[in-house]
Amino acid sequence: MLSDQLKIAPDSVERAARTLRAGGLVAFPTETVYGLGADAENVDAVERVFAVKGRPSTHPLIVHLSGAHQLPDWVVEVPDAARRIAERFWPGPVTLVLRRARRVPLAVTGRLETVALRVPDHPVALALLTAFGGGVAAPSANRFGSVSPTTASHVREGLGSDVDYVLDGGSCAVGVESTIVDLTGEPAILRPGGVSREDLEQVLGGSVPVRGKSAVRVPGQLPSHYAPRARVLLVEPGQVLGLAEHLRAQGCRVGVLVPPEFAGDAGSGAGQRVIVVPDSHARYARQLYEFLRDFDRHGCEVIVASVPVPDGLGLAITDRLRRAAGPRG
């Protein structure tokens, strides 16, 4: 039975779908992070998503679909590259930017003529999208600029009663957001994420650049984003412990993210919380946001970290750490 598999109350998906139909907001799990969903074709509901997130209305939302078969309903045309990526990776952590069909309200796209679409790989998300039937516009279910939620309790802590219904699907398996690929021209990555650049290049049969600055407004491309309260300092892996010790000696509460090869016998103690990062990129990505939250919970004022080798999921981890370390607005 679906409900056994999902380990959620049998009627909760139906209740969530009803909430969406009534114009309400539903937080739901995906394989990447939790989303804050609204009926993509209900402009009032979409506007409430922006209000709850505190997100400028010019920053577009991703429309979530139950399957690739729905793609042609939401875009003017499905280019060959989109077909190939969808076939290979959907359901999965990659989002396609294509030219929008008229049914996509401009409120969703931040008034752009393009729309971002994805099919998430999570049984609860797919059950919700199938029960609802339409597209669900959803950003990550956190306030604008803060760390994305990877559990239902993160969502409740962050958004409280501003969300009408929260579907709990456990911890997110990928842990960082989807890769966003712009296919309106030459393919380009707008945000590194759960599907690696290498895998995309293999499917597209050519190099796919990561576009640093783009004409479109992608909040993931603002300097400071995905940021914990603590200030984040990035240094070479061999300098992490030394800088942390220096700051601690000055009376700072320090959080430390250190790779296993450089951890020595460092441990948490007075004024210092040490997390030795997992040696696999996949496990690191899955836990990255929880690590950042952990430091905030422990009152760390500064986080000292290094970036991993930027291959595979390492590119997304590096991107999120750099943005967390970016200048604060």
Minimum separation from the CB atom of position 29 to ligand TXA (A) = 9
Minimum separation from the CB atom of position 108 to ligand TXA (A) = 8
Of 327, 320, 323, residue with least CA distance to 178: 320
Minimum separation from the CB atom of position 176 to Mg ion (A) = 10
Contacts of 4 (CB under 8 A, 6+ apart): none
- Contact between 42 and Mg ion per CB under 5 A: no
Minimum separation from the CB atom of position 67 to ligand TXA (A) = 15
- Out of Mg ion, ligand TXA, none, what residue 218 binds, judged by CB under 5 to 8 A for its kind, is ligand TXA
Residue ranges of alpha helices (H) inside 114-162 are 123-132, 152-159
Name which of 223 and 264 has its Cβ closer to Mg ion.
Answer: 223
Number of helical H runs and strand E runs in the chain: 11, 13
Q: Which stretch binds Mg ion (CB under 5 A): 5-13, 137-145, 166-174, 312-320?
A: 137-145
Question: In the chain, what's the furthest Cα-to-Cα distance?
Answer: 60
Contacts of 304 (CB under 8 A, 6+ apart): 233, 235, 240, 243, 244, 247, 254, 255, 256, 257
Minimum separation from the CB atom of position 209 to ligand TXA (A) = 15
Which residues bind to ligand TXA, rule: CB under 6 A? 30, 32-33, 35, 59-62, 93, 95, 97, 109, 112, 114-116, 120, 138-140, 177-178, 180, 190-191, 216-220
Q: How many CA atoms lie within 13 A of 187 on its CB side?
A: 22
User: Which sign, positive or negative, has the C-alpha torsion 166, 158, 108, 194?
Assistant: negative
Question: 74, 99 in Cβ contact below 8 A?
Answer: no
Q: Which residue is nearest to ligand TXA (CB)?
A: 139
Kindly list the distances between the CA atom of residue 138 and the CA atoms of 71, 120, 160, 187, in Å, as whole numbers in the listed order.
Answer: 16, 11, 17, 23
Name which of 121 and 302 has its Cβ closer to ligand TXA.
Answer: 121
Q: Which stretch binds Mg ion (CB under 5 A): 105-113, 136-144, 227-235, 267-275?
A: 136-144
Q: Which amino acids are annotated as binding site, given as ranges?
A: 32, 55, 64, 114, 118, 138, 140, 148, 178, 191, 226
User: Which residue type, as a one-letter code, is found at position 212?
Assistant: G
Minimum separation from the CB atom of position 320 to ligand TXA (A) = 11
- Out of Mg ion, ligand TXA, none, what residue 109 binds, judged by CB under 5 to 8 A for its kind, is ligand TXA
- Contact between 140 and Mg ion per CB under 5 A: yes
Question: 317, 288 in Cβ contact below 8 A?
Answer: yes
Q: Which residue is nearest to Mg ion (CB)?
A: 140
Name the 3-class secondary structure at 110.
coil
- Out of Mg ion, ligand TXA, none, what residue 190 binds, judged by CB under 5 to 8 A for its kind, is ligand TXA
Name which of 17 and 274 has its Cβ closer to ligand TXA.
Answer: 17
Strands 302-305 and 254-258: parallel
For 55-69, the DSSP string reads: --TTS--EEE-S-GG
- Contact between 221 and Mg ion per CB under 5 A: no
How many residues belong to the chain? 329
Name which of 124 and 256 has its Cβ closer to ligand TXA.
Answer: 124
Minimum separation from the CB atom of position 190 to Mg ion (A) = 13
Name which of 140 and 318 has its Cβ closer to Mg ion.
Answer: 140
Name which of 126 and 216 has its Cβ closer to ligand TXA.
Answer: 216
Binding site for Mg ion (CB under 5 A): 140
